[in-house]
Structure 1
Amino acid sequence: MSIQPPPPRAQPLQRLRSLDGLRGVAAIVVVAYHSLLISPTLSGIVLANQVAEPGSFWDVLLNSPLRIFIAGNEAVIVFFVLSGLVLTLQVRRERDFNWGTYFPRRLVRLYLPMFASIVFAVIVTLLLHRDREASDSLWVQFYTYPDFDPKFAIQAADVFNGTPDFNSPLWSLRWEVLFSLLLPVFVLIASRGRKLAWAAIALAPLVVLIGYEYTVLPLVYLPAFIVGIALAKLFGVRDATIDAAQLAQPVTPWWGHVAWFAGAVASLFLLILHWLLQPQYGANTHVAFVSSALIVLGAAGIVTVAARWKPAVRVLSLPPIHWLGRISFSLYLVHAPILIATANVAHDLPWPVQAIIGVAISFGVAELFTRFVDVPSHRLSKKIGRTAPAPAARASTPAA
Structure 2
Amino acid sequence: MNGVNRFSAERFSQLNALRGIAALTVVLNHFTVIDPLRELWRTPLRFVLNGHNAVILFFVISGFVLTLQLTSPEPPGYQDYLVKRVCRIYLPYLAVFGAACAIMLLVYRGPVSWAGVWTNSAWDGRIPVSEVLQHVFFVGVYRAEHIVPVIWTLIYEMRIALFFPLLVMAVRRLRVHHALALAIIASASAYLALLVEGKNPYNANLKVQWELTAHFAGIFVVGTLLALHRARWSAWLQVRGRKALVLGVSLALYFLSQAVLRVAPSGIADFLFDWGVATGAAGMVCVALSSAHITSILAWKPIVFVGMISYSLYLTHTVVLLAVIHAMPAANTAWLALAIAALLVIPVATLVYFAVERPSVAIGRALTLRRVLPVDRDRRRRGESAKEPGNASAVQSPGRR
TM-score (norm: length of structure 1): 0.79
Partner of residue 285, structure 2 = 303
CA–CA distance in structure 2, aligned partners of residues 89 and 210 of structure 1: 28
Structure whose alpha-carbon radius of gyration is higher? 1
Q: Conserved in 2, the CA contact under 8 Å of 1:156 and 1:162? A: no
Q: Pick one of 311, 318, 323 that aligns with 2:305.
A: 323
Q: Pick one of 70, 76, 81 that aligns with 1:102.
A: 81
Deviation of the 1:309 alpha carbon: 2.2
2:371 counterpart of 1:376: no
Distance 1:388 1:68, change over 3 A: farther
Deviation of the 1:225 alpha carbon: 1.0
What SS does the corresponding residue of 2:150 show, helix, strand or coil? helix
Distance 1:252 1:115, change over 3 A: same
Distance 1:375 1:41, change over 3 A: closer
Note the 1:110-121 alignment, pairs <5 A: 110-121=89-100
Partner of residue 218, structure 2 = 223
What SS does the corresponding residue of 2:55 show, helix, strand or coil? helix
Q: Pick one of 164, 185, 189 that aligns with 2:166.
A: 185
2:65 counterpart of 1:69: no
Partner of residue 212, structure 1 = 191
Q: Pick one of 2, 11, 29 that aligns with 1:33.
A: 29
What SS does the corresponding residue of 1:294 show, helix, strand or coil? helix
Q: Pick one of 330, 354, 367 that aligns with 2:337.
A: 354
CA–CA distance in structure 1, aligned partners of residues 30 and 156 of structure 2: 21
CA–CA distance in structure 2, aligned partners of residues 11 and 236 of structure 1: 9
Q: Conserved in 2, the CA contact under 8 Å of 1:128 and 1:344? A: yes
Distance 1:120 1:287, change over 3 A: closer
Deviation of the 1:325 alpha carbon: 1.0
Partner of residue 47, structure 1 = none
Partner of residue 20, structure 1 = 16
Deviation of the 1:90 alpha carbon: 1.6
Q: Conserved in 1, the CA contact under 8 Å of 2:48 and 2:255? A: no
RMSD of aligned alpha carbons: 3.1
Distance 1:286 1:104, change over 3 A: closer
Render the CA deviation track for 1:54-87: whole Å, top value 9, x for unaligned.
Answer: xx753234xxxx4331120111011111111111
CA–CA distance in structure 2, aligned partners of residues 174 and 200 of structure 1: 24
Letter matched to residue 374 of structure 1? E
Letter matched to residue 301 of structure 1? G
2:38 counterpart of 1:59: no
Q: Conserved in 1, the CA contact under 8 Å of 2:47 and 2:256? A: no
Render the CA deviation track for 1:269-296: whole Å, top value 9, x for unaligned.
Answer: 22344432444x2552745643443222
Distance 1:381 1:236, change over 3 A: farther
Deviates more, 1:315-324 or 1:24-33: 315-324
What SS does the corresponding residue of 1:124 show, helix, strand or coil? helix
Letter matched to residue 304 of structure 2? H
Deviation of the 1:351 alpha carbon: 4.6
Q: Conserved in 1, the CA contact under 8 Å of 2:59 and 2:223? A: yes
CA–CA distance in structure 1, aligned partners of residues 170 and 8 of structure 2: 29
CA–CA distance in structure 2, aligned partners of residues 336 and 210 of structure 1: 32
Q: Conserved in 2, the CA contact under 8 Å of 1:159 and 1:173? A: no
Partner of residue 365, structure 1 = 348
Q: Conserved in 2, the CA contact under 8 Å of 1:77 and 1:299? A: yes
Note the 1:268-279 alignment, pairs <5 A: 268-279=251-262
CA–CA distance in structure 1, aligned partners of residues 131 and 121 of structure 2: 14
Deviation of the 1:32 alpha carbon: 0.5
Q: Conserved in 2, the CA contact under 8 Å of 1:88 and 1:229? A: yes
Partner of residue 314, structure 2 = 332
CA–CA distance in structure 1, aligned partners of residues 360 and 251 of structure 2: 33
Deviation of the 1:105 alpha carbon: 2.3
Identity %: 27
Q: Pick one of 248, 253, 273 that aligns with 1:265.
A: 248
Partner of residue 132, structure 1 = 111
2:323 counterpart of 1:341: yes
Deviation of the 1:109 alpha carbon: 1.9
Partner of residue 172, structure 1 = 153
Distance 1:389 1:346, change over 3 A: same
CA–CA distance in structure 2, aligned partners of residues 124 and 384 of structure 1: 31
Deviates more, 1:164-173 or 1:102-111: 102-111
Q: Conserved in 1, the CA contact under 8 Å of 2:32 and 2:41? A: no
Note the 1:213-252 alignment, pairs <5 A: 213-215=192-194, 216-236=211-231
TM-score (norm: length of structure 2): 0.79
Distance 1:337 1:235, change over 3 A: same
Partner of residue 240, structure 1 = none
Q: Conserved in 2, the CA contact under 8 Å of 1:85 and 1:229? A: yes
Distance 1:67 1:14, change over 3 A: farther
Deviation of the 1:162 alpha carbon: 5.2
Letter matched to residue 87 of structure 2? V
CA–CA distance in structure 2, aligned partners of residues 285 and 229 of structure 1: 25
Distance 1:227 1:143, change over 3 A: same
Letter matched to residue 220 of structure 1? H
Partner of residue 284, structure 1 = 266
Tell me, which stretches of 5 or more residues in structure 1 are unaligned?
Answer: 1-8, 43-55, 238-245
CA–CA distance in structure 1, aligned partners of residues 189 and 245 of structure 2: 29
Render the CA deviation track for 1:198-218: whole Å, top value 9, x for unaligned.
Answer: 433455444433333432312
CA–CA distance in structure 1, aligned partners of residues 280 and 314 of structure 2: 21
Distance 1:11 1:57, change over 3 A: closer
Distance 1:207 1:273, change over 3 A: farther
